[in-house]
């Protein structure tokens, strides 16, 4: 077998066998296939696509490229959740306690942030003392007793995807549904859960630009899950503005706490209720998604998720006082209001620009070596559809940086103020399960 | 400017500006753009193509990446000729003396062979003493006095094409017409001639598979020439069997000598007459291609081209006795007849397999470091359309190798013998000039 011939084959739109895909991925991981041949192959895949069988084979080879986690020592309904990534996405921090309070178990691995999107691990580490380097034994104990735990990623989970993604990232071959699907699913399959819920972000700055693409991606991921005997569903949610109000690490912890106490922003609360409702349906805890959402509302109101969150923070060595009295969390020295220069309505908010403003304020890292400032970030007070007066507050910057002009300008430029009324964007568009796509407006309120 | 964005742009089928193309090619040549990004870009070009403006810009940037030869010190009608490469292609060795005898000047650079196709320089070097490392001054003197000279390639001619071609060769991105056209034309434009004739080989083993593709490639190259104020024409010739009878270095010199004396194989003779006829038309020496071919026949019969060849060999320090009495050239110790195992008609001859057999016999090199055996090669006695009896001679192997079984098997397998009569293939299909495509059957005889 020669990589040259396999590039040629894919270029001509021909089908690759499982053996051929294994040869490509293992050869690339072992450095016998060079980056330039892999890059040409990926671009050929971009244009010619992959069949279902090819996608299944690719996913399987990637899963087996590293460790596969066994959750045999965890009892109960084992679920996992993944988001395709967004600005202000603190969903996991709210959803996992809600899932645990609903009778599910989640042994979750999360990443750190890079660029304009934050990472769950960074957010949790803004709670003093919080430990994200648990041993396998600690993970098992906490998940069995509390219902969930969140840990940093183990180094050897799907190494083929890591190497492949790094190459896709510099060769403009990220945005292909088959490659996105196999990348996401290989990581979830290696993580060992039986039920997998994927939060697919839709928006101008996201991988997935519209609902149609979101449905297509969802169907591929559900099919991959099926071929591995895993139950998969997706929620298509909106990333045309930051999720909730807060962007930045301790600011997002505060918002998560508020949401768990039933006082969070409606968009974040709704998304978490839908996600949990879908999971309750997927796992058979409820008969329909609608009943799952209704049950989730009741469970959130009961206060049980907040109790789970407190237990979780305590188990992972975090300072419970700091989440009980969030004023004890790190605070930025500067709190700068950003006010509108014109009157009208918020037509759109560039989520990516808000993410970059938070990064400039100190909330993120541009390279892996950068240190983050847990107190820094942006609070978006105005949302799409809101009316704005000239000089009215639209957002607040929290920062310890000397120079703040560029941050202010970037936040202001992210807000597009228009003269005609804009309609509010729903936080969730719909759900995709094995049965197909279900629009969700009715369930949201 | 970022290479990532330019890959993305081409991937989306957008037009690149001249500045963007210059950035890509110069960045690649200077190693600031890595192989893997260039490989992804080339594959995107394969699928999205290039506009005429992009092809012109690419060619221009490549021409300027190295030395551009000035032929100012050469007087007269300056022509150049290039073949897209084939097995047994000794056309230049016959055509250049014919061109010179027809009143044209050619300062030609040729390459060495690699793999299954031979190089003109290797063929000439089988003449004892022949010098292919002329100084610029010697080239000028010989071209002005004799009408032509043939030299090895200078190291710094179109370095961008060299580097790009090496990458295309391992990433399955060779067979794209825009890339082939700009690669060929950049080298010809850097060589300085005013009239450029391209021999486009058509066949199952060639870059160009059929006449339609050959016409398309020709039109691109003619347009490139036009944008540089050069007159370009192409001849579409057949490579569905080796050209002439001989494949191998001194064997091809012998066949060239025979052809220059009017006693060569019809296919080779015809091709050279058409090529020269087209050049006489292109340069204005004759009013039509037909008149050019008729004039070329007359000139060949006059013996003048043979005289030019003798002068050329003498000027470049070759042993004139060895071409006058070709029995003085190196001879292989073994001369092995290959006979047919069945009766019927030759349906096709796999030219690539014959080229590989010649390579195994010692006529070529697999790596740049290999030494070639000038005496080794294959003589194809039977051609497509010929009838064959069982046990009848189809080819002769000349070799000094110990083991010859594999060579014999390969030659035999190259011959497809069928029961029904196959028609002879013309050596030339047609000509493409600025005016369009002209089929050529009528002119050939």
Q: In this predicted structure, which of A364-373, B155-164, B406-415 has the lowest mean pLDDT?
A: A364-373
Q: With contact defined as beta carbons under 8 Å apart, do B116 and B364 qualify?
A: yes
Pairwise CB contact (< 8 Å): A39 & B39: yes
Residue A388 has pLDDT above 50, yes or no: yes
Question: Given B43, B167, B170, which is nearest A43 (Cβ)?
Answer: B43
CB within 8 Å of B233: residues ≥ 6 apart: B196, B197, B198, B222, B278, B279, B281, B282, B431, B432, B433, B434
Catalytic residue selected from B107, B182, B183, B375: B183
Residue B238, H or E segment: strand B231-238
Q: Of B119, B85, B442, B104, whose CA–CA distance to B270 is shortest? A: B442
Is A442 exposed, middle or buried (CB count within 10 Å of its CB: 0-12, 13-18, 19+)?
exposed
What is the spatial distance between Cα A243 and Cα A237, in angstroms, rounded to a whole number? Answer: 10
pLDDT digits (tens, 9 = 90+) for A85-109: 888 899 999 999 999 999 999 999 9
pLDDT digits (tens, 9 = 90+) for A226-255: 999 999 999 999 988 999 999 999 999 999
Kindly identify which residue of chain A lies nearest to residue B44, measuring between CA atoms.
Answer: A43
Joined tokens for residue A323: 């989440």
Catalytic residue selected from B161, B162, B348, B427: B161
CATH of domain A331-418: 3.90.1170.30
Q: Of B25, B10, B14, B109, whose CA–CA distance to B60 is shortest? A: B25
* Residues in chain B within 8 Å Cβ distance of A167: 36
**Active-site residue A319, yes or no?**
no
**Active-site residue B75, yes or no?**
no
* pLDDT at residue A200, as a whole number: 96
pLDDT digits (tens, 9 = 90+) for A175-193: 899 999 999 999 999 999 9
Residue A444 has pLDDT above 70, yes or no: no
- Strand A334-339 vs strand A377-380: parallel, antiparallel, or unpaired? unpaired
Residue B155 has pLDDT above 70, yes or no: no
Residue A269, H or E segment: helix A266-282
Backbone φ and ψ for B143, nearest 5 degrees, come out as -65, -45
Residue B445 has pLDDT above 50, yes or no: no
Residue B403 has pLDDT above 60, yes or no: yes
Fold of A77-156+167-324+430-439: Pyrimidine Nucleoside Phosphorylase; Chain A, domain 2 (3.40.1030)
CB within 8 Å of B140: residues ≥ 6 apart: B73, B74, B107
Cα–Cα separations (whole angstroms), residue A190 to A80, A111, A182, A233, B378: 11, 15, 12, 17, 58
Task: Strands of B94-227 (E only): list them.
Answer: 106-110, 148-152, 195-202
Q: Of B42, B154, B168, B142, whose CA–CA distance to B109 is shortest? A: B154
Residue A75 has pLDDT above 90, yes or no: yes
Q: Of A300, A255, A254, whose CA–CA distance to A276 is shortest? A: A300
Q: Is B156 helix (H, G, I), strand (E, B) or coil?
A: coil
Catalytic residue selected from A187, A308, A383, A398: A187
Q: With contact defined as beta carbons under 8 Å apart, do A128 and A319 qualify?
A: yes
What is the spatial distance between Cα B283 and Cα B102, in angstroms, rounded to a whole number? Answer: 11
Residue A272 has pLDDT above 80, yes or no: yes
* pLDDT at residue B21, as a whole number: 98
Residue contacts between A and B (CB atoms, under 8 Å) = 74
The superfamily CATH assigns to domain A3-49 is: Transferase, Pyrimidine Nucleoside Phosphorylase; Chain C (1.20.970.10)
Higher per-residue pLDDT: A424 or B129: B129
- Strand A79-83 vs strand A428-433: parallel, antiparallel, or unpaired? unpaired
Locate the domains of chain B by residue range: 3-49, 77-156+167-324+430-439, 331-418
Residue B116 has pLDDT above 80, yes or no: no
Cα–Cα separations (whole angstroms), residue A261 to A94, A152, A264, A378, B249: 10, 26, 7, 22, 87
Q: Of B394, B405, B409, whose CA–CA distance to B338 is shortest? A: B394
pLDDT level of residue A69 (50, 70, 90 thresholds)? very high
**Active-site residue A187, yes or no?**
yes
* Residues in chain B within 8 Å Cβ distance of A43: 11, 39-40, 43-44, 47
Q: Please give the model's pTM, rounded to 2 decimal places.
A: 0.89
Q: Smallest CA–CA separation between A217 and chain B, in Å?
A: 20
What is the spatial distance between Cα B328 and Cα B257, in angstroms, rounded to a whole number? Answer: 13
Sign of CA dihedral B48, B51, B53, B56: positive
* Residues in chain A within 8 Å Cβ distance of B47: 43-44, 47
**Active-site residue B161, yes or no?**
yes
Q: What angle do CA B375, B380, B382 make, to 5 degrees?
A: 160
Packed helices B91-101 and B249-260: angle between N→C axes, nearest 10 degrees: 30
Q: Of B123, B69, B155, B82, whose CA–CA distance to B313 is shortest? A: B123
What is the spatial distance between Cα B294 and Cα B301, in angstroms, rounded to a whole number? Answer: 11
Q: With contact defined as beta carbons under 8 Å apart, do B238 and B425 qualify?
A: yes
What is the spatial distance between Cα A138 and Cα A161, in angstroms, rounded to a whole number? Answer: 27
* Residues in chain B within 8 Å Cβ distance of A49: none
From the candidates B5, B36, B164, B175, which should be mutated to test the interface with A, based on the most A CB atoms within 10 A? B36
pLDDT digits (tens, 9 = 90+) for A35-64: 999 999 999 999 999 999 999 999 999 999
What is the spatial distance between Cα B261 and Cα A201, in angstroms, rounded to a whole number? Answer: 77
Q: Smallest CA–CA separation between B5 and chain A, in Å?
A: 8
Kindly list the residues of chain A whose beta carbon comes within 8 Å of any beta carbon in chain B: 4, 7-8, 11, 34-40, 42-44, 46-47, 167, 170-173
pLDDT digits (tens, 9 = 90+) for A403-427: 999 999 999 999 999 999 988 888 8
Catalytic residue selected from A22, A90, A116, A168: A168
Highest mean pLDDT among A9-18, B239-248, B414-423: A9-18
């Amino acid at each position: 077998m020669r990589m040259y011939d396999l590039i040629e084959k894919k270029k001509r739109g021909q089908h690759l066998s499982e053996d051929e895909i294994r040869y490509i991925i293992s050869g690339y991981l072992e450095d016998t296939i060079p980056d330039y041949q892999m890059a040409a192959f990926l671009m050929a895949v971009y244009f010619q696509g992959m069949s279902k069988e090819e996608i299944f084979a690719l996913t399987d080879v990637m899963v087996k490229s590293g460790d596969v986690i066994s959750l045999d020592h965890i009892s109960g309904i084992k679920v996992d959740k993944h988001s395709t990534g967004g600005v202000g996405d603190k969903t996991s921090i709210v959803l996992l306690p809600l899932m645990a309070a609903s009778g599910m178990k989640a042994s979750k691995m999360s990443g750190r942030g890079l660029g304009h999107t934050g990472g769950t691990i960074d957010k949790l580490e803004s709670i003093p003392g919080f430990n994200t380097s648990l041993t396998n034994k600690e993970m098992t104990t906490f998940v069995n007793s509390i219902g969930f735990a969140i840990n940093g990623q183990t180094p050897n989970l799907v190494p083929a995807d890591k190497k492949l993604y790094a190459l896709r990232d510099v060769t403009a071959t990220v945005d292909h549904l088959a490659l996105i699907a196999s990348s996401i699913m290989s990581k979830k399959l290696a993580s060992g859960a039986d039920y997998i819920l994927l939060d697919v972000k839709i928006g101008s700055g996201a991988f997935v630009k519209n609902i149609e693409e979101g449905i297509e991606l969802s169907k591929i991921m559900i099919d991959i899950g099926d071929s591995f005997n895993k139950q998969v569903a997706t929620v298509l949610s909106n990333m045309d503005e930051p999720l909730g109000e807060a962007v930045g690490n301790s600011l997002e912890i505060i918002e998560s706490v508020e949401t768990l106490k039933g006082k969070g922003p409606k968009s974040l609360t709704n998304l978490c209720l839908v996600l949990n409702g879908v999971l309750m349906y997927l796992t058979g805890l409820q008969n329909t998604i609608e009943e799952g959402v209704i049950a989730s509302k009741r469970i959130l109101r009961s206060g049980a998720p907040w109790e789970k969150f407190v237990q979780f923070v305590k188990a992972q060595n975090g300072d419970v006082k700091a989440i009980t009295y969030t004023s004890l969390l790190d605070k930025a020295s500067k709190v700068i209001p950003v006010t509108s220069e014109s009157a009208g309505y918020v037509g759109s908010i560039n989520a990516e620009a808000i993410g970059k403003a938070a990064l400039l304020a100190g909330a993120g890292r541009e390279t892996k070596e950068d240190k983050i400032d847990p107190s820094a970030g942006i609070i978006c007070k105005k949302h799409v559809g809101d009316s704005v007066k000239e000089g009215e507050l639209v957002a607040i910057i929290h920062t310890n940086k000397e120079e703040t002009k560029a941050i202010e300008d970037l936040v202001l430029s992210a807000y597009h103020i228009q003269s005609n009324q804009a309609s509010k964007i729903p936080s969730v568009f719909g759900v995709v399960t094995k049965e197909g796509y279900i629009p969700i407006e009715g369930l949201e309120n």
